[in-house]
């Protein structure tokens, strides 16, 4: 499995209230949630994002609420992978549980800029910055988590 | 190698003699919680996955608290979906308008959480129940769905930071000031993936309400859970509420902590978190400038308990809030609401010019019942002051205790009380 796309870059402590503001949580519709993704921090994001693009944040990405609507909105907006130096823990498990690929890599999070073209190899954890011609090594997933992702999320992994 | 309190609870529920930091385990759950925002996502997944039963109808709680009383048609539709699901599967702890409360005020009050139990909730402030010596943590809707169906969840065993509390809180300093002080010290990711374990002789001076407030905001330091060592105060609280056997744990002498932090409660001052992160704290005496405010909110899962209502009423009694300030008081549960009426607190609030509301999460997350316009400022006893949290992206939230919030409402600007 691989991801390949253009990067949308964000900073530290990107909280779930800016990823999907609570005023839109009166729906669970994935497309409707995606239409407000990142609205309170970057109004243009939903117009710029293309299928397969990559989101990069820095420390404590996804902090705050447990709303699964946050990774759902990101995934449904077309983002194929989120890279950050660290993730808030509930966001981390929610992303895995719904099958949104996320990688912790402080080096990549720091070096990658807005608009860079990036490739991710999930099997090796190698992130390639095509624009800058650099490679970064991300923490690989433990097998337990790899299995959840390979089966397409937690609920699929529960089916024998 | 010794285990922390959190690790012992996880080991027991995983059926293991011991666990260590980083280990991935599957554990049996004593309670699975969801609200009117997170449950619909879980219910959709539940139906999609083809489950046709819940693991235990007594060990699931569904609380309609975020956008209730229904703020709009979509919110009403989500609540109806939860109500229908609860009816279909005969879920005993379904709480709707009229008997509900804000989930994290309600579950401890109803005796649904006991010391040593393991609880997950599709709400980040589920960590509140660590105040009772339970392992309790926020998860997403998919975990909630799997929990309702199987009674199990996966966990990565956390390491811990130990907070060794000594001394005694000063008058008008509360659990809220303690947790804001701690988040100011360690930062919003200071306890990322870890347990925050509270112990020490200072526990004696912390009421259950103080502990619930402190554990509630463990997530604001990035923690997986916050947990208090069980003592007589805990046992007195659960005595008339919990009527099932429970087993609670102390940390081993040789438990491993990434950090041990000593806090003399007597040195903690009234503390305010400035926009837009809970770690931007200043003590009240460090605030030299006048910060005019438009709104005050007293309530939420952090500070909507009866002791919070009492302290706010004590300060507001016989006074009137400042002109051009709106003060919204929201007791956490119907029981607390009734206590406020019986004790005359409701009358004090209304006479002081406050709104006195039925329990709801409403304004805390910018849902309803007190949304801010661009350029407006609020002092709030809630737990988050992120950009846009209570309304417009250009509004500001200052987090504080009920005492500081009430004093600020009277002053029309951020103010402490001596």
DSSP string, A22-68: GGGTT---HHHHHTTTTTTT-TTHHHH--TT-EEE--TTBTBS---T
Give the Cα separation of B329 and A17 in Å (integer). 23
B125 φ, ψ (degrees, to nearest 5): -85, 15
* Confidence check: pLDDT of B61 > 70: yes
Give me the sign of the Cα torsion angle B40, B44, B49, B54.
positive
Cβ–Cβ of A144/B367 closer than 8 Å? no
Q: Which helix (H) or strand (E) holds A137?
A: strand A134-137
What was the pLDDT predicted at A148?
A: 85
| Count of Cβ atoms closer than 10 Å to residue B166 Cβ | 15
Q: Say which residue the tokens 């293309």 belong to.
A: A50
Cβ–Cβ of B72/A26 closer than 8 Å? yes
The tokens for B172 are 């008008």
The tokens for A48 are 């710029």
What's the mean pLDDT in B198-217?
Answer: 98
Percent residues over pLDDT 90 in chain A: 83
SS3 assignment, position A115:
coil
What was the pLDDT predicted at A123?
A: 85
Q: What's this model's pTM, rounded to 2 decimal places?
A: 0.97
Q: Which residue of A has its CA nearest to B218?
A: A64
Nearest to A6 by CA among A107, A86, A116, A89: A116
Cβ–Cβ of A93/B193 closer than 8 Å? no
Q: Say which residue the tokens 């005993």 belong to.
A: B92
Contacts of B393 in chain A (CB under 8 A): 40
What was the pLDDT predicted at A94?
A: 96
Is the CB of A90 inside 8 Å of chain B's CB atoms? yes
Give the Cα separation of B124 and B407 in Å (integer). 29
Q: Are strands B326-330 and B354-356 parallel, antiparallel or unpaired?
A: parallel
Percent residues over pLDDT 90 in chain B: 100
Nearest to B241 by CA among B304, B329, B333: B333
* Confidence check: pLDDT of A142 > 90: no
What was the pLDDT predicted at A153?
A: 86
Contact B2, B162 (CB under 8 A): no
| Among A17, A89, A158, beta carbon nearest to B389 | A17
Interface-testing mutation among A19, A22, A76, A141, with chain B (most B C-beta atoms within 10 A): A22
Q: What is the mean pLDDT of chain B?
A: 98
SS3 assignment, position B358:
coil
pLDDT, tens only, B79-103 = 999 999 999 999 999 999 999 999 9
| Among B49, B75, B384, beta carbon nearest to A26 | B75
Cβ–Cβ of A90/B78 closer than 8 Å? no
Half-sphere exposure of A55 (CA within 13 A, CB side): 32
pLDDT band at A150; cut points 50, 70, 90: confident
Interface-testing mutation among B45, B140, B189, B223, with chain A (most A C-beta atoms within 10 A): B140
pLDDT band at A145; cut points 50, 70, 90: confident
Quick one: DSSP state of residue B311?
A: H
What was the pLDDT predicted at A160?
A: 58
Q: Say which residue the tokens 């503390």 belong to.
A: B271
What's the mean pLDDT in B273-288?
Answer: 98
pLDDT, tens only, A14-57 = 999 999 999 999 999 999 999 999 999 999 999 999 999 999 99
* Beta-bridge mates of residue B60: B32
* Confidence check: pLDDT of B104 > 90: yes
What was the pLDDT predicted at A146?
A: 80
CA A22 to chain centre: 19
Q: Are strands A2-9 and A54-56 parallel, antiparallel or unpaired?
A: parallel
Give the Cα separation of B56 and B149 in Å (integer). 9
Sheet holding A81-84, edge to edge: A101-104, A81-84, A54-56, A2-9, A117-121, A126-129, A134-137
Contacts of B48 in chain A (CB under 8 A): 155
What's the mean pLDDT in B39-47?
Answer: 97
pLDDT, tens only, B243-264 = 999 999 999 999 999 999 999 9
What's the mean pLDDT in B369-393?
Answer: 98
| Among B74, B139, B365, beta carbon nearest to A93 | B139
Nearest to B287 by CA among B273, B303, B276: B273
Distance from CA of A93 to the nearest CA of B (A): 8
Q: What is the mean pLDDT of chain A?
A: 94
Quick one: DSSP state of residue B332?
A: S
Question: Which of A42-46, A141-145, B279-283 is predicted with the least confidence, judged by mean pLDDT?
Answer: A141-145
What was the pLDDT predicted at B1?
A: 82
- Extended strands (E) in B190-331: 195-199, 225-228, 259-264, 271-273, 281-283, 295-299, 326-330
Nearest to A140 by CA among A7, A1, A19: A1
What was the pLDDT predicted at B266?
A: 98
CB interface of A with B, residues 105-134, below 8 Å: none
Q: Is B95 exposed, middle or buried (0-12, 13-18, 19+ CB in 10 A)?
A: buried
Contacts of A69 in chain B (CB under 8 A): 37, 41
What lies within 8 Å, CB to CB, of B239 at 6+ separation is none
pLDDT, tens only, A57-106 = 999 999 999 999 999 999 999 999 999 999 999 999 999 999 899 999 99
Contacts of B123 in chain A (CB under 8 A): 65-66
Cβ–Cβ of B386/A94 closer than 8 Å? no
Give the Cα separation of A63 and B276 in Å (integer). 13
Contacts of A144 in chain B (CB under 8 A): 24, 154
What lies within 8 Å, CB to CB, of A29 at 6+ separation is none
* Confidence check: pLDDT of B5 > 70: yes
What's the mean pLDDT in B47-75?
Answer: 97
SS3 assignment, position A4:
strand
Is the omega angle on the peptide bond into residue B69 within 30 degrees of 0, that is, cis? yes
Contacts of B45 in chain A (CB under 8 A): 155
A to B CB pairs, distance under 8 Å: 134
Q: Which residue of B has its CA nearest to A142?
A: B24
Contacts of B388 in chain A (CB under 8 A): 17-18, 21, 40
């Amino acid at each position: 499995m691989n991801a390949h796309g253009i990067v949308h870059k964000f900073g530290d402590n990107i909280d779930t209230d800016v990823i999907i503001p609570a005023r839109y949580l009166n729906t669970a519709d994935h497309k409707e949630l995606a239409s407000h993704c990142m609205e309170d921090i970057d109004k243009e994001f939903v117009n710029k994002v293309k299928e397969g693009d990559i989101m990069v944040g820095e420390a404590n990405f996804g902090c705050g609420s447990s709303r699964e609507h946050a990774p759902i909105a990101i995934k449904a907006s077309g983002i194929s992978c989120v890279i950050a130096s660290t993730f808030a823990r509930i966001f981390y498990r929610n992303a895995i549980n719904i099958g949104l690929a996320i990688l912790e890599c402080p080096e990549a999070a720091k070096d990658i800029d807005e608009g860079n073209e990036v490739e991710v190899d999930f099997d090796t954890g190698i992130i390639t910055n095509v624009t800058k011609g650099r490679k970064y090594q991300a923490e690989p997933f433990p097998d337990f988590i790899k299995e959840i992702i390979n089966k397409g999320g937690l609920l699929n992994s529960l089916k024998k | 190698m010794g285990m922390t309190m959190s690790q012992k609870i996880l080991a027991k529920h995983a059926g293991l003699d011991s666990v260590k930091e980083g280990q991935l385990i599957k554990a049996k759950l004593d309670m699975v919680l969801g609200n009117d925002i997170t449950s619909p996502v879980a219910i959709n997944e539940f139906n999609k996955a083809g489950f046709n039963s819940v693991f235990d109808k007594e060990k699931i709680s569904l609380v309609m608290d975020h956008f209730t009383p229904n703020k709009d048609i979509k919110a009403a539709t989500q609540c109806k979906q939860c109500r229908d699901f609860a009816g279909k599967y005969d879920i005993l702890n379904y709480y709707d308008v009229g008997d509900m409360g804000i989930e994290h005020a309600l579950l401890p009050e109803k005796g649904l959480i006991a010391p040593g139990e393991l609880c997950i909730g599709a709400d980040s402030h589920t960590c509140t129940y660590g105040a009772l010596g339970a392992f309790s943590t926020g998860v997403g809707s998919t975990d909630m769905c799997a929990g309702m169906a199987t009674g199990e969840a996966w966990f990565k065993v956390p390491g811990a930071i130990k907070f060794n509390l000594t001394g005694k809180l000063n008058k008008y300093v509360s659990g809220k000031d303690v947790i804001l002080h701690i988040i100011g010290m360690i930062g919003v990711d200071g306890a990322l993936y870890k347990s925050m374990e509270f112990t020490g002789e200072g526990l004696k001076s912390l009421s259950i309400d103080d502990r619930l407030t402190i554990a509630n905001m463990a997530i604001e330091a990035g923690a997986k859970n916050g947990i208090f060592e069980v003592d007589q105060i805990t046992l007195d609280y659960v005595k008339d509420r919990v009527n099932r056997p429970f087993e609670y744990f102390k940390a081993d002498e040789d438990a491993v902590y990434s950090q041990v932090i000593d806090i003399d409660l007597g040195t903690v001052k009234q503390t305010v978190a400035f926009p837009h992160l809970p770690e931007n704290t200043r003590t009240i005496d460090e605030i030299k400038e006048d910060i005019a405010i438009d709104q005050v909110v007293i309530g939420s899962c952090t500070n909507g308990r009866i002791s919070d209502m009492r302290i706010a009423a004590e300060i507001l009694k016989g006074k009137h809030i400042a002109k051009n300030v709106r003060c919204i008081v929201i007791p956490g549960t119907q029981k607390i609401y009734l206590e406020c009426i019986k004790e005359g607190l409701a009358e004090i609030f209304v006479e002081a010019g406050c709104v006195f509301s039925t329990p709801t999460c409403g304004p805390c997350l910018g849902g309803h019942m007190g949304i801010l316009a661009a350029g407006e400022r609020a002092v709030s006893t809630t737990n988050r002051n992120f950009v846009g949290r209570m309304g417009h992206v250009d509004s500001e939230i200052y987090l504080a205790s009920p005492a500081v919030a009430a004093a600020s409402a009277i002053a029309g600007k951020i103010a402490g009380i001596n």
